Amino acid sequence: MPPIRPVIVGGDLLSAFGRGIKLSWEGILNGQSAITQVKRFPAQSFQSENAAILSELKYPDEDSLVMQMLEPLLKSSRGLIPADARLILATTTGEIDLLERQVLQGTDDAAKSNFDFLLEKVRRLTGVSGEGEIISSACASSSIAIGFAAGFIESGKGDCALVVAADAVTEFVFSGFSSLMALDPGKAKPFDKNRAGLSLGEGAGFILLMSRERAEKESRDILGEVAGWAQAGDANHMTGPSRDGAGLSLAIQKAMNKAGIRSQDVGCISSHGTGTLYNDSMEMKAYRTVFGDQPVPLYSIKGAMGHTMGAAGLMETLIALQVLREKIIPATVGLQEVDPEAEGWVSLDKRALRKNFLLLNNSGFGGVNAALILKH
C-alpha cells in the first residue's frame, strides 16, 4: 500500500501588508517593510517604538485583536473548509489583550483569555464539527501544528486537517520582549553584521491540508506537499537558544530523513531569521552542521512582516509555497551588510530556485525547534 501523502490545498493570511498572500508576497519581493511606528499604545519607554501591526484593528475593543483578524479571514473562507476537518489552533498568547485589560484597567474577565475559549470561537467560525486542539509552543507553534496535521493525515486517522494561527501585538507582549532587550530600536535586520534585535509583528492565517487521494477526488488545487516534519528540543535556557544549534540541526536532519531526501536536494531555506544576535548565529551553526560548507540559499521574511510569534511558521509556509511555485528566492528585507557567518547563504538580491524541496524552520522560547520540508 503506497504511503498517504499530506498536501496543502488552500490557505490565506492577514498581515501588516494587508489581506491575502499576494500582497505579502509582492511586498517581500519588492523589498518593502511593513514595520512602522507603534501608535496602538504608548511605546516611548520601551526599547523600540516599531512593529508590523494592522492599523485598522481597534484596541481596546469588544473583540480581541486576534478575533478581529480571524473573523473576517475565516468567515469568507468557510466554503473552502470541510466540516470534517481536524482543527488545530496555533498561538503563543491568543487573546492576551483580554487578560491585559483586566490587569491594567480592572475590566473584562481574565478567564476569557483562556485558549479554550478562543478554540471554540474558531471552531464556530470555521464550521468544523470536531472540538479541535491547541498547540502553543512559543514561536514554533504553527510550524509544529502543520507537522502535527501532516502526521495526522499520514497516519490514516483522518484525511483532512485545518491549521489556524494568530497572534497580536499588545502592550503586554511588547513590554515583555523589550524587557528581554530583544527588540531592534529601528527595524529588524536578519543575518546583518549590525543586527540589533527583532521587530514584532502580528497576523493570522490558515492552511488546509488533505491526503493527496482526497484532494484529487475533490479536484482541489494542490499548492504543495508537506514531505517531512520534525521537532527537537535543546533545553538550553528559558528564552535563549542553544549556542551550537544542536536542537535545530537535529530537527532539520529528522525532517529530511522523513522526506527521504539528502542535504543536496534542498533548494533553499526559509529561516527563522529573527535578527537577534544569538538566534541568527545559532541558525548558521545548525545549517553548517547539516549542509557543511556548501551554502544553501536562505532568506528571512521577518524584516518585512515582523516576527509574528506563534503565527510565524504558518505565514512563512504560505510565502514558501509562493517561492516554490514561482521559483524565486526573495532577498532578506532589512539586510544591509551580510554577517561574515552568513556570507554566501543570504543575499541582498533575489535568486532563482532550481530545486523542488524547501526547508522551513522555526525556533522558540524553551529551546523548541521545528522543521518542515515542503515540496513543489
Sequence-ordered strand ranges (E) for the chain:
6-15, 18-19, 36-37, 50-51, 86-90, 133-135, 160-167, 203-211, 224-233, 266-270, 298-299, 328-329, 351-352, 357-364, 368-375
pLDDT value, residue 241? 76
271 pLDDT exceeds 90?
yes
- Residue 172: the pLDDT is 93
More confident residue, 220 or 62: 220
Mean pLDDT of 241-257: 93
Q: How many CB atoms lie within 10 A of CB 219?
A: 6
Query: Mean of the pLDDT values across residues 192-207?
Result: 98
The residue ranking higher by pLDDT, 238 or 277, is: 277
184-188: average pLDDT: 98
pLDDT > 80? residue 236:
no
pLDDT at 309: 98
Which pLDDT score is estimated for 234? 86
One-letter amino acid identity for 191? F
Q: pLDDT per residue over 105-118, tens digit each?
A: 777 778 889 999 99
Structural domains of the chain sorted by starting position, each given as residue range(s) with its CATH number in brackets: 6-217 (3.40.47.10), 228-375 (3.40.47.10)
pLDDT confidence band for 159 (50 / 70 / 90): very high
Instruction: Measure the CA dihedral 8/11/16/18, to 10°.
Output: 140
Which helix (DSSP H) or strand (DSSP E) does residue 215 occupy?
A: helix 212-217
Provide the mean pLDDT of the chain.
95
pLDDT of residue 29: 97
Q: pLDDT-based confidence at 237, cuts 50/70/90?
A: confident
| The pLDDT of residue 107 | 74
Per-residue confidence (pLDDT) for residue 91, from 0 to 100? 98
Average pLDDT over residues 213-222: 97
In the predicted model, is pLDDT for residue 350 greater than 80?
yes
Mean pLDDT, range 167-190, rounded to an integer = 97
Q: 376: number of CA atoms within 13 Å, CB side?
A: 18
User: Once rounded to an integer, what is the mean pLDDT over residues 81-105?
Assistant: 93
pLDDT band at 376 (very low <50, low <70, confident <90, very high): very high
- Could you give the percent of the chain with pLDDT greater than 70? 99
pLDDT at 238: 76
The per-residue pLDDT for 204 is: 98
Task: Between 71 and 103, name the one with better pLDDT.
Answer: 71
Q: Concatenated DSSP letters for 73-125?
A: HHHTTGGGS-TTPEEEEE-SSSSHHHHHHHHHHS-S-GGGGSHHHHHHHHHHH
pLDDT at 62 over 90: no
pLDDT of residue 240: 72
User: Quick one: pLDDT at residue 235?
Assistant: 81
Question: Tens digits of per-residue pLDDT, 296-311?
Answer: 999 999 999 999 999 9
